[in-house]
Amino acid sequence: MIVKKSARGLIRYEEAAKNFTSVLYPKLIEVRSKYKNQISELRKNHKLLGIKYNFISSEQQKKEIKLLSIEINKLQRTINQELTDTYNQARWTLRNTDLDFDFDITVYIGFDLDFLAGYTNKMFYINLVDMKDQEQLEKSIEHELVHVKQSSEYGKDYSDKKLRKIEKTPYYDIKEEMPALATNILRELPPVQEFLNNEFQTFKTNNPWVTQEAFMDLAINELMYNSKNLYNYLLQSTTLRSMIYGSKDKQPITKRYNRNKLLKILTESVILETRKLLDNHES
C-alpha cells in the first residue's frame, strides 16, 4: 500500500513522493539548465531592485516590481508550456493512491525563498531556482502531498482571508502544517532497529561483557516506556530541534496545543515501530 497510516493522525507518502519526483526532477533540471542565462539575469535584476528599493519612491517601487514580475511570469509561462506532458505524467503516478490528483502544477521562479514546493487551492508549486538535489525535492513533495490529502478531506479551498491569516502566523504555529511536518521529522530519524544497534555498539565499548540480546531487551523497553529516552530519540531530527528551539530564520513553536499534538503523533508512530521490535524479540 503506497499510503500508510503509521499512527493516529499520521499519513505518509514516501513512495508516492518518490514516484512523483522521479518524473519531475530530470525535466526540471533540464529546463533550468536551458534557461540558466535568463534566470541569472532575473536574479541580478532582483538583487539590484533590493539594493535600490529603499532609495526610490513608492510609485517607482511599484513600477519596478511590476516590470520584474512581468519578466518572471513570461519565463514561467514558457517553461510551464514545455513541461505540460511531464506534469501529466507526474500526476498519473498518483493514480493508485488515495490522493486527489486533479490539481495544476507550475514552476515558480523566486529568489532567496525558504520552500521547494507548495500546495494551495489545487495548485502545486515547484521552486525551480533553489533545488539542490532529487532527495531534497522528494522530501518537500512528500510534505505537500500530505496537504493535498488534507485539502481533499476538508472539501474546500482556503479563502483569501484564511490565506492572509496563515501568512501572518509563524510557520511552526500553523496547525495545518503539523501532519506534514511530522512526515519530515520521521524521514530524518534513523529506523529504531538501526538506532538501537548503534546504541549497543557505543555501550559495548565500555561494557564488553553485555550481550546484544540483554541490551536490546532493556533498550526496547526503555524507548517505549521512558519518555526522556523517546524524546532524545526524536530530537535527532533537525526539523524537530528547529521547532522546539528555533533556528536562524524561524522562531520555535509557541502554541502548546500544536506542540503536544505533534509530539503525540510522533510518539505513537515510534512506539508502534518499537512494539514490533519487542514482539519479534520476545518470539
Rounded Cα distance, 82 and 177, in Å:
32
Residue with cell 535584476: 45
C-alpha cell at 155: 472539501
pLDDT of residue 157: 66
Residue 112: left if φ>0, alpha if ψ -120 to 50, beta else—which one? Answer: left
Rounded Cα distance, 192 and 278, in Å:
11
From the list 72, 262, 265, 51, the residue with the least C-alpha distance to 177 is 262
pLDDT of residue 10: 61
pLDDT of residue 76: 96
pLDDT digits (tens, 9 = 90+) for 3-14: 444 444 466 788
pLDDT of residue 230: 87
pLDDT digits (tens, 9 = 90+) for 32-47: 999 999 999 999 999 9
214 or 151, higher pLDDT? 214
- Is residue 91 within 8 A of residue 72, CB to CB? The reply is no
Does residue 137 have a pLDDT over 50? yes
Confidence of residue 281 (pLDDT cuts 50, 70, 90): low
Amino acid letter for position 185:
I
pLDDT of residue 221: 83
Rounded Cα distance, 170 and 209, in Å:
51
Amino acid letter for position 95:
R
pLDDT digits (tens, 9 = 90+) for 144-193: 998 888 877 765 567 778 778 888 888 888 887 888 888 888 888 888 88
